[in-house]
């Protein structure tokens, strides 16, 4: 799980580390049922963007968390609700005496609660970074169970590579053939209440994800993804009409495929090239500088 794909940085002093917390993109999200405990059963095709948050870890006399980045102030004052702190404390319980105090710096570049797994990616990066800093290893099973305690998306974010996730997100299958995509992430910076999105679902027992691929090229994957869906998008559009508007803006700038990620409100547009994606993001930012637009390239399954 802690492969070079995570782009971890090991400093020359061996006393600090950096971890990238990549944005998680739901290329497809099918709601297939609901458990007796209320958790919804999902089938998801997931990939990860090159863009995301960044966390730095350093030995310190006392524990500390500092924040920066465009959305850093959003997290200021949230105390124990921050998933970075929860991940630190949960891992410390397992590691024991080796878990000396640390200063963690979070550069928050992703919008908060926006359907692209920002908090979950931060938690996963915290687990990776602190295991390196504290010089400890855990079995894959123990680490996956620890991640799941932090949230259903955290095991996926530990992988940070293309995958299919089922159940509540804990049943993970790598997708090595998924290509990289040039993409624009777009968010109107208006929150969506995830419980309300699920409550408004007309049907909670929808057909499972089934990717009908006619080949292995990017065009074949685009066709298969286009035939899938995000079951949460229609109710999210009811709650936040800007989702429909931002999707139309991406299409107008030449996106080959647009869809909402997760429970929103972030949408993505897949473009033919990074040049096209960067041009679209710049034009859309000029039109709505108060919204979030980010050109990025997703990781490939074989990277």
Cα(25)–Cα(108) distance, integer angstroms: 17
| Helix, strand, coil percent content, the chain, rounded in steps of 5 | 35, 30, 35
Known active-site residue 86: no
Query: Which candidate, 59, 74, 104, 72, places its Cα nearest to that of 86?
Result: 104
Q: CB neighbours of 37 closer than 8 A, spacing ≥ 6?
A: none
121: left (phi over 0), alpha (psi -120 to 50) or beta: alpha
**Beta-sheet pairing, 64-68 with 9-10:** unpaired
Helix axes 242-252 and 274-287, enclosed angle (nearest 10)? 130
Q: Which of 24, 43, 86, 108 is catalytic?
A: 24
Task: Give φ, ψ of 255 to 5 degrees.
Answer: -60, 135
Cα(236)–Cα(215) distance, integer angstroms: 33
Q: Which of 43, 56, 153, 231 is catalytic?
A: 153
| Burial (Cβ within 10 Å: 0-12, 13-18, ≥19) of residue 144 | middle
Helix axes 118-133 and 83-95, enclosed angle (nearest 10)? 30
The residues assigned a catalytic role are 24, 153
């Amino acid at each position: 799980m802690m492969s070079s794909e995570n782009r971890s940085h090991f400093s020359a002093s061996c006393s600090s580390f950096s971890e990238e917390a990549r944005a998680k993109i739901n290329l497809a999200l099918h709601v297939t049922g609901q458990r007796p405990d209320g958790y919804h059963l999902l089938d998801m095709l997931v990939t990860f963007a090159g863009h995301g948050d960044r966390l730095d870890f350093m030995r310190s006399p006392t524990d500390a968390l500092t924040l920066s980045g465009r959305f850093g102030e959003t997290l200021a004052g949230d105390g124990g609700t921050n998933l970075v702190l929860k991940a630190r404390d949960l891992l410390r319980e397992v590691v024991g005496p080796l878990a000396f105090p640390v200063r963690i710096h979070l550069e928050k570049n992703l919008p908060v609660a926006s359907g692209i797994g920002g908090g979950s990616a931060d938690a996963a990066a915290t687990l990776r970074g602190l295991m390196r800093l504290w010089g400890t290893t855990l079995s894959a099973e123990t680490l996956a169970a620890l991640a799941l305690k932090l949230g259903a998306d955290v095991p996926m974010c530990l992988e940070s590579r293309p995958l299919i996730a089922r159940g509540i997100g804990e049943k993970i299958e790598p997708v090595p053939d998924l290509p990289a995509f040039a993409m624009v992430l777009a968010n109107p910076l208006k929150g969506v209440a995830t419980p309300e999105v699920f409550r408004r679902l007309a049907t909670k027992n929808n057909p499972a994800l089934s990717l009908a691929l006619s080949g292995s090229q990017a065009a074949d994957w685009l066709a298969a993804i286009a035939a899938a869906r995000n079951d949460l998008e229609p109710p999210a559009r009811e709650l936040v009409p800007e989702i429909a508007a931002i999707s139309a803006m991406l299409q107008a700038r030449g996106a080959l495929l647009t869809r909402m990620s997760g429970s929103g409100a972030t949408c993505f547009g897949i473009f033919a090239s990074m040049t096209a994606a960067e041009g679209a993001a710049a034009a859309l930012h000029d039109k709505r500088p108060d919204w979030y637009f980010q050109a990025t390239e997703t990781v490939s399954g074989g990277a």
